[in-house]
Amino acid sequence: MSGEIDIMQGVLDLYDKYDFNEFTEKDVAEALKKDEPDYRDYACLLSPAAAPFLEQMAEKAMKRTRRQFGTTIAMFTPIYIANYCENQCVYCGFNCKNKIHRAKLGIDEIEKEYQAIAATGLREILILTGESRKMSGIEYIGDAVELAKKYFSLIGLEIYPVETEEYEYLHKRGADFVTVFQETYNRETYKKVHLAGQKRIFSYRLNAQERAIQGGMRGVGFGALLGIDDFRRDAFSTGVHASLLQKKYPHAEIAVSVPRLRPFVNNAEENPGDVHEKELLQIMCAHRLMLPYASITISTRERAEFRDNAVKIAATKISAGVCVGIGGRGGDEKGDEQFEISDPRSVEEITAALHKNGLQPSFNEYIRLI
């Protein structure tokens, strides 16, 4: 367990190290000259001083993206199979205190969803649940993963953090990838926005990606929910977290997401505060320059025009044909959604948009051998 603590301590040591307002335009210019920026350069590129350099950052990020990934953009879709949750998170529609329609798909209902998704041509799927062991147990998730192998070549999970041996079990059932959002790396804010439930344990969540890798997962994903706290520090800490883990486990595939707060059922006022599209693009460019080999996902939380621009510059993965409620593809939606999406385009529409921009959508980058 000492390795896990080292990762967490490394992130927390750097969290407070830099004052983002002290960087100058000269610092930014120097940082942009480097092919291998260090953590100070990374913080500099996320600072307010870097805002006037956004076009230069985007140009360099685009060259870095094309050099590493070519024109290929991976396509996937999420499937929510349950929205029961035991956590009380103030920013989330699945909050256990929020009065929403709760539901859990049975295995036959899950298969109907899979069939509808597979019919679009997609071969990568992200399986999500609310964070409730009682209602979405490991075996239930494992059964969903096992069934997904029938239809998909790459299977990701976004579920509650679990033990190493449980990740190993899910990997043996067919899961390839695990994503865990830390939400915020500010420990005091973390306590304030997570009022009850297992999610209140900051360290257990932060160490989840390392347990997943130790359990055999091929890759892991990171992200903070931008707008909960100081978005610059949270974006910086997300990248540091991913970077430290990649250095320790160089065989692991690393992915970063950049979700912003969105409205949800019974709380239409929720918004990402001062994280506007320019700031979001700055974050993505800084991520690409610091993490040249990492996949960067742009979700349907963002509007279509912004997503189309992001994949030309820094993003390498995009969701399509998204439904964030429980069910809905294979029949009537049974449970309420986690948040409102901004880009409802179908797989066909996003595929056409990628081709229009000279990009190549990828439906299947992997061959499943077992």
pLDDT for position 98: 82
pLDDT for position 133: 96
Q: Which residue has the tokens 């449970």?
A: 335
Q: How far apart are CA 182 and CA 205, in angstroms?
A: 7
Q: How far apart are CA 336 and CA 344, in angstroms?
A: 16
Backbone dihedral angles phi then psi of residue 324, each to the nearest 5 degrees: -105, 10
Instruction: Please state the separation of Cα 171 from the chain's center in Å.
Output: 19
Q: Which residues contact 11 (CB under 8 A, 6 or more apart)?
A: 185, 206, 237, 240, 241, 244
pLDDT for position 264: 45
Residue 101's CB: how many other CB atoms inside 10 A?
A: 13
Domain ranges of the chain: 2-362
> Residue 239's closest CA among 17, 48, 23, 46?
46
Q: Which residues pair with 177 in a beta bridge?
A: 156, 219
pLDDT for position 40: 98
- Amino acid 7 reads I
Q: How far apart are CA 315 and CA 324, in angstroms?
A: 21
Q: What is the DSSP letter of 70?
A: T
Contact assessment for residue 338 and residue 301, using Cβ atoms and an 8 Å cutoff: no
Q: How does pLDDT run across 200-248, given as a tens digit for each residue?
A: 999 999 999 999 999 999 999 999 999 999 999 999 999 999 999 999 9
Q: How does pLDDT run across 23-67, given as a tens digit for each residue?
A: 999 999 999 999 999 999 999 999 999 999 999 999 999 999 999
pLDDT for position 329: 75
pLDDT for position 265: 47
2-362 — its CATH code?
3.20.20.70
Backbone dihedral angles phi then psi of residue 333, each to the nearest 5 degrees: -70, 130
Residue 348's CB: how many other CB atoms inside 10 A?
A: 12
pLDDT for position 234: 97
Residue 146's CB: how many other CB atoms inside 10 A?
A: 16
pLDDT for position 363: 86
Going residue by residue through the chain (370 aa), what tens digit of pLDDT does each one get? Answer: 444 458 999 999 999 999 999 999 999 999 999 999 999 999 999 999 999 999 999 999 999 999 999 999 999 999 999 999 999 998 888 888 888 888 899 999 999 999 999 999 999 999 999 999 999 999 999 999 999 999 999 999 999 999 999 999 999 999 999 999 999 999 999 999 999 999 999 999 999 999 999 999 999 999 999 999 999 999 999 999 999 999 999 999 999 999 988 654 444 445 556 789 999 999 999 999 999 999 999 988 899 999 999 999 999 999 998 877 787 776 666 654 555 678 889 999 999 999 999 999 998 655 555 5
pLDDT for position 332: 66
Q: What is the SS3 assignment for 85?
A: coil
**What's the Cα-to-Cα distance from 197 to each of 74, 95, 131, 191, 212, rounded to whole Å?**
34, 10, 9, 11, 21
pLDDT for position 266: 46
| Helix H or strand E encompassing 122 | none
